[in-house]
Structure 1
Amino acid sequence: MKPTLTLLGMGLAMALSGCFAARQARIDSDYSYTGNFRRYRTYEFVTGEGLAADSSKLGEAVRDAIRTRLKVQGYKSNKRRPDLLVNFRVFEGDMKFRGYLQEDIGRWVKEEKVEDEETPPDNRQGYQPQRILLAEGTLLITLIDNRTNRAVWNGYASGVTVPKGPQGELVLRRSVRSIFDQYRVFTEGYLEGSQMTEN
């Protein structure tokens, strides 16, 4: 009985410490006014260097958490011609970051706003840049419009300490969830379709 309680206590302590590490992180995001968020339905990961190409458990934990969240929001994986390319990276140390003060992306998408070259200058939203100092350890997730090759959304968690082992995977998964809480964009018609199947 005592070893079971000890293991249970250790597991709970690890889960709570991972939870606290993710909660202490600064979570924020910004988006491009040219992003046609209603059009996006599919995604694929960018391959490259660093954690994005990492086949370790930490890299796979981030990819798996992103896959899970995008699936919940109605997005499907498509290797051939995805609407969105997903890139992520973990930065060590403090860094200066340029973000933007913007209205909530959910409101922007709901009002079906999209800016392009034909949008009159008087009707453009305009960006209000802000310089942000991100604390030691930042997980940055970027969504890129595959057609235009432009970043349309950045979400980040700073102050994320990633310990080694399973606890590190837990911290990264929770950080991804917290970041995607900033991206409350479901694919068009997905919510109506899931409500119909429930009835």
Structure 2
Amino acid sequence: MKPATITLLTLALSLSGCFAAREARIESDYSYSGNFRRYRTYDFVTGNELATDSSALGEVLRDAIRARLRSQGYKPAKNRPDLLVSFRLYEGDMRFRGFAQEELTAWLASGKEETDETPKDARKGYQPLRLLLREGTLLVTLIDYRTNRAVWNGYASGVTVPKGAQGEAVVRRSVRSIFDQYRVFTEGYLESNR
């Protein structure tokens, strides 16, 4: 093949991956009791059938999540990490319960953190939403290791993952889009990188 033909083919494949990722519905929700300012380390959930996907696609997902967390200042830790990361790629449509909330960064900027000691009448409260997520949903959950509670869910619905390199590109873009909803940097990370 001529170099121009290879370049055009590569461009066409890249653009088709962009369109597949753009069609995805990207959402997230979080726990008002998440202590997002103290999280600095992470590890992946392990065990039977929990994020143990050893396929090439599972490894691409882990690599994409690692890269994104690293870019936000998080460090991997095998011993007592602050966050456990769980992910799953669902096939088919699924019903999902999410919550209507302001963006996480706005919530954090308000300084309103909830703990177990926060009086019930002072708590924010959740407004549940029933969602129908389309064929192909990538769900990423961050779990507070100390409390064993999910503190953040990010998901991309309607993700079509073709086989091969194009599929890997779609997965990486989907992870990037999901984590665009989680713009939480570790404390002091931005100042140290100026």
TM-score using structure 1 length = 0.94
The reply on whether 1:103 has 2:102 as its aligned counterpart is yes
> What letter is aligned with 1:128?
Q
Q: Map 1:1-199 onto structure 2 (within 5 A).
A: 3-49=2-48, 52-195=51-194
Aligned-residue offset at 1:73: 0.6
* Contact map agreement 1:74 1:187 (CA 8 A) in 2: yes
The structure 1 segments of at least 4 consecutive aligned residues displaced by more than 3 Å after TM superposition are 48-51
Q: Which runs of 5+ in 2 are unaligned?
A: none
Q: Distance in 2 between matches of 1:13 and 1:55?
A: 30
Deviation by residue 1:147-178 (Cα, 9 ceiling, x = unmatched): 00000000000000111111111110000000
CA contact (8 A) 1:50 1:89 kept: no
TM-aligned CA deviation for residue 48 of structure 1: 3.6
Give unmatched runs, 5+ long, in structure 1.
none
C-alpha RMSD of matched pairs (Å): 1.3
Identity of aligned residues (%): 70
> What displacement does 1:91 show?
0.5
For residues 128 and 50 of structure 2, the distance between their equivalents in structure 1, rounded to whole angstroms, comes to 28
Task: Name the stretch that deviates more: 134-143 or 44-53.
Answer: 44-53
User: Paired residues, what number?
Assistant: 194
Q: Which has the higher helix share?
A: 1
Distance in 2 of aligned mates of 1:146 and 1:193: 26
1:114: how far off? 1.9
For 1:51 and 1:118, locate their aligned partners in 2 and report how far apart those are by CA, in whole Å: 32
Q: Which amino acid aligns with 1:162?
A: V
* Structure 2 counterpart of 1:6, one-letter code: T
TM-score (norm 2): 0.96
Give, as a single letter, the amino acid of the residue that structure 2 aligns with 1:144: I
